[in-house]
Amino acid sequence: MSGIFNSSIGRKFAMALSAFFLMIFILQHFAINILSVFSPDTFNEVSHFMGTFWVIQYLLQPVLIFGVIFHFVMGFILEIKNNSARAVGYAKTSGASNSSWMSRNMIWSGGFILVFLIIHFIDFWIPEINIKYVQGDMSGLLDPNAADSGYRYYEELVHKFVPIWRVALYCLGFVFLSLHLLHGFNSSFQSVGANNKYTKGLKGFGKIYSIAVPLGFIFIALFHHFNH
């Protein structure tokens, strides 16, 4: 591990791997959440499975949390190292002339996404953990009309998107996610040495992914706000 942190190439490579992992998770997360628009029952069933299957809960979930923490910590480390390296370089040339706005502001978009992610955890993940592991209710899909109906995924999702301030915050968070991905997607492939005949296609796919997925999340938030 120390070798990764001591090597610039190693740090970028590790950062890229964590980015790939999180991009796959974001796509999977979107695929589940979009079900809430078309089929609340299917959304509940899939969410119940994801929230109770032991492999996901006890193996993949800790890996995901580690991946999120690692990505943000590594991002701040790279920013500090890059700023140190630019100290001399900026005396000779302008950073703005050699890099895009998004690449120069990844730390800010990443910082806002981190704040947004903490709020998202407070809204959804922490209440679920409390109900399942503190209160001990793993049912998830009990009769919604029952007094002890427990944690109902669809109802909770819709309830969170009633206040307009939260919808606005989520939409802004996904705008920053899109900006972050527009640079981060291609940067990650460059960091692992993916420079071949497929590079142009990957860049095209990266732009589609970076815009379409965050827009999809914005659509979900707005849909539930205006249809609750």
The tens digit of pLDDT for each residue in 22-46 reads 999 999 999 999 999 999 989 988 9
Q: Which of 96, 84, 75, 108 is nearest to 5 (CA)?
A: 75
The pTM (predicted TM-score) of the whole model is 0.83
pLDDT digit string, tens, across residues 178-194: 999 988 888 888 777 66
b vs e for 162-201, b when ≥16 Cβ sit within 10 Å of the residue's Cβ? eeeeebebbbebbebbbbbbbbbbbbbbebeeeeeeeeee
User: Measured between alpha carbons, how far is 9 from 15 in angstroms, rounded to an integer?
Assistant: 10
Distance CA 178, CA 33 (A): 17
CATH of the domain at 222: 1.20.1300
Q: Are 31 and 209 in contact (CB under 8 A)?
A: no
Tally of CB atoms within 10 A around 84: 9
The count of domains in the chain is 1
Four-CA torsion 125, 126, 129, 135, nearest 10 degrees? -140
Record the tokens describing residue 5, joined without a space.
Answer: 């942190």
Domain of residue 92: give its range.
2-226
Residue 144 has pLDDT above 70, yes or no: no
With a pLDDT cut of 90, the percent of the chain lying above it is: 37
Residue 1 has what pLDDT? 52
Residue position matching structure tokens 């002890």: 148
